[in-house]
Amino acid sequence: MISKLVSGLNPSATVEIQETLAQLTAKGVDVVRLNAGEPDMPTPAHIVDAGINALREGKTRYTPAAGILPLREAIAEKLERDNGLHYESSGIVVTTGAKQALVNALLAVIDPGDEVIILTPAWVSYPDMVKIAGGVPVFVPTGPGYQPDIRAIERAITPKTKLILINSPNNPTGAVYTEEKLHALADLIAERKLWVLSDEIYEKLIYKGKTHTSVVSLRPELAERALIVNGFSKAFAMTGWRAGYLAAPKPIAKAATILAGHMTSNVTTFVQWACLAALGGGDTCIEAMRDVFAARQTVIEGLLNELPGFTAGPVDGAFYMMPDVTGVFGRTVAGVTIESSAQLAHVMLEKAHVAVIPGEAFFSPGTLRFSYCVSEADIREGISRIGQLLGG
């Protein structure tokens, strides 16, 4: 029998779409994939070279479970330089993607029954990660522009609330939290003496002249109860390398290292050396990717708002847009009366051959997540197919 823990986890709501996608691809159908959550660019050459050189130099043995010291030092410097956050290398743990940083951070601080506030729409994995750690996810919807609703968060806080999870720039919405909201969040977290987990994995993907601010940098006392998660996947197009990191108070970093020591040991050794090259290589490669995403963002935002029944508010970051599609509900599309965003996503895939993720996967029915990790031509083709489907 499957354990109670695992049987309590939700199978990914994206699975059905993935299966249909695989079947269509196997049949040779040309599907426009607006569902991917990873940059479509290759990993920059200097990072690849550093990985290959590390292998050739025999950097193939175990390292400390928390990661090689030069990388932890480089991460501490990056946090100081980019985010105004002060960490020593002993507060840094290199992890197998940001995912492992998230899970181990939660395992390190959450006790059974502790409540964790998650703002919705939210990335698919957060609630299940909280459950793995024995915690109870408490969903709080965001307000207009997918910005945090501070009053609603205040109302959701109970004596059992241990931690609030923040993700800006956000997956799935693309929202970048405003300075005003971040200050309000920082004040609330400090006053209520909560822990905060700030997932900053999309920090480099911000457009329209906006910049990223780490909520933890706004009130120094937050650092005592802050878990900063970041990684290499999105900023450096390194999703398959599986490298991320946690910055935390030293006892928490030590606890996360103990967990990693038992479960995975170190992140693949040559990957760590490639990450060191990524951090040391300057932001030129990031800026080139950011320019591409920024141009696509403008295109997709305009096109989505032209679709009948779709409303896509302006957002500033990540590589996602999440239009409200409730305007399509009740209409008949390709012979189907649309009653949910999951159904609309299904019809879009089956009939127009465009893949997106329904908002249900992100605890946000009535929306669809569009990712723009494809060429501008593919974005135009995908949205034009949806336009024809809805119009015809």
Ligand X SMILES: Cc1ncc(COP(=O)(O)O)c(C=O)c1O
List residues near ligand X by CB under 6 A. 37, 97-99, 123, 167, 171, 199, 201, 231, 233, 239, 244
In the complex, what is the shortest distance from the CB of residue 201 to ligand X, in angstroms, rounded to a whole number? 5
The backbone torsions φ and ψ at residue 111, rounded to the nearest 5 degrees and listed phi first, read -105, 160
Closer CB to ligand X, 374 or 386, in the complex:
374
CB 386 within 8 A of CB 352: yes
Q: Contact at 8 Å (CB) between 361 and 340?
A: no
Of 135 and 231, the one with the shorter C-beta distance to ligand X is: 231
Q: Which is nearer to ligand X, 123 or 195 (CB)?
A: 123
Residue among 118 and 307 whose Cβ is closer to ligand X: 118
Distance CA 257, CA 187 (A): 30
Q: Which of 284, 244, 281 is nearest to 260 (CA)?
A: 244
Nearer to ligand X, 181 or 353 (CB): 181
Find the shortest distance in angstroms from Cβ 167 to ligand X: 5
Nearer to ligand X, 91 or 97 (CB): 97
Q: Which of 135, 165, 139 is nearest to 225 (CA)?
A: 165
Report the nearest approach of ligand X to the CB of residue 269 (Å): 18
- CB 310, min distance to ligand X, A: 23
User: What is the smallest separation between the CB atom of 318 and ligand X, expressed in angstroms?
Assistant: 8
Task: Determine contact, residues 152/146, Cβ cutoff 8 Å.
Answer: no
User: For residues 87 and 126, which CB has a smaller minimum distance to ligand X in the complex?
Assistant: 126
User: What sections of the chain are H helices per DSSP?
Assistant: 4-7, 15-26, 45-56, 69-83, 97-109, 125-132, 150-156, 179-191, 250-263, 269-280, 284-306, 341-347, 376-391
Q: By C-beta, is 123 or 273 nearer to ligand X? A: 123
Find the residue with minimal CB distance to ligand X.
Answer: 97
> Per-residue DSSP letters for 220-258?
GGGGGGEEEEEESTTTTT-GGG--EEEE--HHHHHHHHH
Q: Shortest Cβ distance from residue 197 to ligand X (Å)? A: 10
Distance CA 329, CA 339 (A): 5
33-46 burial, b at 16+ Cβ within 10 Å, e below that, comes to bbbebebbeebbee
Shortest distance in whole angstroms from residue 384 CB to ligand X: 27
Give min distance, CB of 244 to ligand X, in A: 4
Euclidean distance between the first and the last CA atom of the chain, given in angstroms as a whole number: 49
| Type of residue numbered 130 | V
Q: Which is nearer to ligand X, 35 or 303 (CB)?
A: 35
Closest CA to 186 of 169, 166, 203: 166
Task: Tell me whether residue 273 or residue 338 sits nearer to ligand X (CB atom).
Answer: 273
Host H or E run for residue 138: strand 136-141
Taking the complex as a whole, the smallest distance from the CB of residue 292 to ligand X amounts, in Å, to: 19
Question: How far is 230 from 198, CA to CA, in rounded Å?
Answer: 9
Strand pairing class (244-247; 320-321): unpaired
Write down the least CB distance from residue 12 to ligand X, Å.
12
Q: Which tokens sit at 257?
A: 């290292």
Q: Residue 224's CB: how many other CB atoms inside 10 A?
A: 10
Q: How far apart are CA 392 and CA 387, in angstroms?
A: 8
